[in-house]
Amino acid sequence: MIRDFKIAEKEEDISYYAGFVGSAYMIGRALTSVLWGLCADRYGRKPVILIGTSTVVIFNTLFGFSVNYWMAITTRFLLGSLNGLLGPIRAYACELFREEYQALGLTSISTSWGIGMIIGPALGGFLAQPAEKFPSLVSSDSLLGRFPYLLPCLTISTFALFVTIGAIWLPVHFHAINISLIIPLMCFLI
């Protein structure tokens, strides 16, 4: 993507600029994570989870439509800033699981995060530039041809949309729930 934006003067500089795009997300998260935790404590975990997953749908799709370097950085920063999921989901898991299952619930969140960090980049790399990789399926004049990084972003955004719809039915008030029912849902959220 950075190569296609033609911001790097030399091939060696691409990783330098890509680092800023990648870190924009984490800078946004670092600046707002405490705020999202406070919101989750005050207004509840469910609204924060719904806002976070909705944010993924919106800003991840916009990232796929990035036409220049600064748009890519801005959309990634906004995605990180408005996506306060990890802390509230961990707090939700602590409240949701009985005490003897809390460690399992929290480790399932970390495991899901790790799996996502493996599958996400692999899927993104496979689906990026579909007009070049699959010219018989995708025309270079099509939407996916003009925005070569839109397909992986749309794939993730579609998944996040289903998660957002599923999160609508998360229980707000609950007693300790059977772990076998909720672990798959928690993994799905992450």
Boundaries of every domain in the chain: 2-189
Q: Which CATH class is domain 2-189?
A: mainly alpha
> Which pLDDT belongs to residue 97?
83
- Reduced to 3 states (helix: H, G, I; strand: E, B; else coil), residue 55 is helix
Looking at residue 53, its amino acid is: T
Per-residue pLDDT of 66-103, as tens digits, reads 999 999 999 999 999 999 898 898 888 888 888 888 88
In angstroms, the CA 164 to CA 153 distance is 16
| 3 state SS of 183 | helix
Predicted pLDDT of residue 102: 87
Output the six-digit token pair for 165: 């719809």
Which tokens in the block code for residue 117?
A: 């960090």
Measure the CA–CA gap between 122 and 17, rounded to whole angstroms. Answer: 20
Whole-angstrom Cα distance, residue 124 to residue 149? 8
pLDDT reported for residue 182: 52
Residue-wise pLDDT tens digits, 4-43: 999 988 999 999 999 999 999 999 999 999 999 999 999 9
Distance from first CA to last CA of the chain, Å, rounded?
25
3 state SS of 136: coil
> Is pLDDT larger for residue 18 or for residue 170?
18
